[in-house]
Structure 1
Amino acid sequence: LYERLGLVQDAIPYFKKSLSFEPDHEFANYDLALIYFDLGEKTIAKEFYIRAFQNNPELRTIVNDTAFHFSKSDLDDPGRIIDPSEDDLNPESIDMTKPQASTVKTVLITGATAGIGLATAKAFLQEGYKVIITGRREDRLRSFSESLDQKTSKSLQTLAFDVRDHKACEKALLDLPKDFQQIDVLINNAGLASGRDSIQEGDVEDWNRMIDTNIKGLLHMTRLVSPQMVKRGTGHIINVCSIAGHQPYPKGNVYVATKYAVDGLTQSMRLDLYEHGIRVSQISPGAVEETEFARVRFHGDTEMAKIYEDYNPLKSTDVAEAILFIATRPPYVNIQDIIIMGTQQAGSTFFDRSGRKYD
């Protein structure tokens, strides 16, 4: 907070206190390097820069080496250091007198206690991102965090709240540690289907649950995260839609309507944000197993939820890989929508149910 208010000297004791508990914390070291650099204490800044990239080599770049006046002779053991690739940067187009902000991107994924959200979190962690996962079930979030090795767990933050509650969303984001507050990629994944009834027999509680989660939850998170992206002039929002947002099906009514809304919002958001350098993308999966979608739709009825026994749908990891692909395109490329289905599905109501051919 002190650093964000510009009171950088007041922030120094807090970062140093963090280092007293965890001396190898790369981002605390890097933040101190930036602070001392701004204060003109270049020698001290360089020492914290060295500590930072020794624990996270991705923080070492040609620009930073030049700005901090770093050379291998500054180290007792230069063999520990990984040289940055000169192909990664074009020094002629960059101010070489100032250190870069952290090059490690942060992604926030809603609805990440299971299924597509959890698979996506794993995919981004494997690629070296810092990842924030959110969900209502704190025990699930904690269990995933505890399953990670020590190094990977440093790149993960968990937030337990309900995206339907705007104030809870706001509070959760304010509680993030400083080195997770800049969100580069927002993945609006939280969503569900509840019930499958004809419109004249529908349950209003089911309707409200879907509308509040699938539409309002996406809006709550986008409203909170997009202003910081606009301010920086960069960012990426990826909405998880559905084939149901392109093709309706019988008894889908309100769920279909919420996903058509996601499709419409994605297109409208893109028009609002593209001039600010922000990419808005969408992925629209068909049927996906390894998720809780069917069980939730049928209110926990496990027998009714057995809908994938006679064909192979997508797996949650298939969708996660596609989301990662969207997020890792060059900055001038925006994948606007990916419609992805298993080979045995040709549309929202067309399935080859002749057996699981691909097991």
Structure 2
Amino acid sequence: MADTVLVTGATAGFGRAITERLIHDGYRVIGTGRRAERLEELQQNLGEAFLPYPLDMMDRDSLRTLPEELPEGWREVDVLVNNAGLALGMGPAQGADIDEWERMIGTNVSGVVEITRALLPGMVARDHGHVVTIGSTAGTYPYKGGNVYGATKAFVSQFMRNLRTDLLGTHVRATNLEPGLCGGSEFSSVRLGDDEKAADVYRDTHPILPEDIAETVAWVIGLPPRVNINRIEMMPVCQASGGLAVVRGLD
């Protein structure tokens, strides 16, 4: 039987592209998300190899009971793709909305930790599995307004490093994928709350697209079991880290 992959945030952007690519490659995919109607649409398009599973990444109880709640025949998850995540706001920390901070922490940190902890024991018991998490270059390079979003992705980066160390001696793999400027998703629209402002983020650029992320995930999980890709940082050619900034004239 083909490996079973669980993709969080499968209803749009990276998650949808990853789901479609892996189905095409012959995997069975459990797609999660809060928008049940989008999951049903995916099932209609992708067929029996796709299992829609409505799930809120901030619902701790549902995440903890996930392995037992999955339908018979789908409970042995071979690959977890921690894709669900979000950024909210671009203002400075001193003026930020604390509720937005909490939502980012709840989704990007707590949600990732909870679902990984729920599925990891089964992978270790079977001595077969792979955890792939979508991090961000924001976890490495600070920028104005990045504050808590960047901090959540820095957590993810270190969590995955430590996970890899804990898994040493097993055949369970762990990979952190850290994209830079990415278009073709709802990310900036959600963050800025304005489609026009979101379009300005990508104006006159050629950003990474969801299919590029899907291609990378497919490559990582398709490598021979002896190979673990610890971390991949990827940016479009129109982007690079900007170096340190200096403000002049301060006393």
Contact 1:249 1:348 in 2 (8 A): no
State the Cα distance separating 1:173 from its structure 2 match.
Answer: 3.6
Contact 1:161 1:172 in 2 (8 A): no
CA deviation digits over 1:134-184, x for unaligned, max 9?
A: 001111111111123xxxx11110110101111122344423222211111
User: Aligned partners of 1:291, 1:274: CA distance in 2, in Å?
Assistant: 35
Aligned positions, number: 243
**SS across alignment from 1:283:** strand
Q: Percent sequence identity over matched residues?
A: 39
Counterpart in the other structure of 2:208: 314
Whether 1:227 aligns to 2:125 is: no
Contact 2:65 2:118 in 1 (8 A): no
Pairwise mapping of residues 1-359 of structure 1 onto structure 2 (< 5 A)? 102=1, 104-148=2-46, 153-298=47-192, 300-306=193-199, 307-347=201-241
Q: Give the unaligned 5+ runs of structure 1.
A: 1-101, 351-359
1:166 and 1:283, CA in 2 relative to 1: closer, same or farther beyond 3 A? same
**SS across alignment from 2:169:** helix
State the Cα distance separating 1:349 from its structure 2 match.
Answer: 8.1
CA deviation digits over 1:231-279, x for unaligned, max 9?
A: 1112100011001111111110100000000001000111111222211
Two-structure CA RMSD over aligned residues (Å): 1.4
1:297 and 1:349, CA in 2 relative to 1: closer, same or farther beyond 3 A? farther
**SS across alignment from 1:164:** coil
1:206 and 1:320, CA in 2 relative to 1: closer, same or farther beyond 3 A? same
Q: Which TM-score applies when normalising by structure 1?
A: 0.66
User: Aligned partners of 2:225, 2:49: CA distance in 1, in Å?
Assistant: 23
Counterpart in the other structure of 2:247: none
State the Cα distance separating 1:309 from its structure 2 match.
Answer: 1.5
Q: Which TM-score applies when normalising by structure 2?
A: 0.93
Q: Give the unaligned 5+ runs of structure 2.
A: 245-251
Contact 2:66 2:118 in 1 (8 A): no
Counterpart in the other structure of 1:25: none
User: Aligned partners of 2:69, 2:119: CA distance in 1, in Å?
Assistant: 14
Contact 1:248 1:348 in 2 (8 A): no
User: Aligned partners of 2:211, 2:14: CA distance in 1, in Å?
Assistant: 7
CA deviation digits over 1:94-131, x for unaligned, max 9?
A: xxxxxxxx3x1000000111000110001100010010
CA deviation digits over 1:64-95, x for unaligned, max 9?
A: xxxxxxxxxxxxxxxxxxxxxxxxxxxxxxxx
Contact 1:236 1:278 in 2 (8 A): yes
CA deviation digits over 1:204-227, x for unaligned, max 9?
A: 011001000000010111010000
User: Aligned partners of 1:134, 1:348: CA distance in 2, in Å?
Assistant: 36
1:167 and 1:132, CA in 2 relative to 1: closer, same or farther beyond 3 A? same
1:259 and 1:349, CA in 2 relative to 1: closer, same or farther beyond 3 A? farther
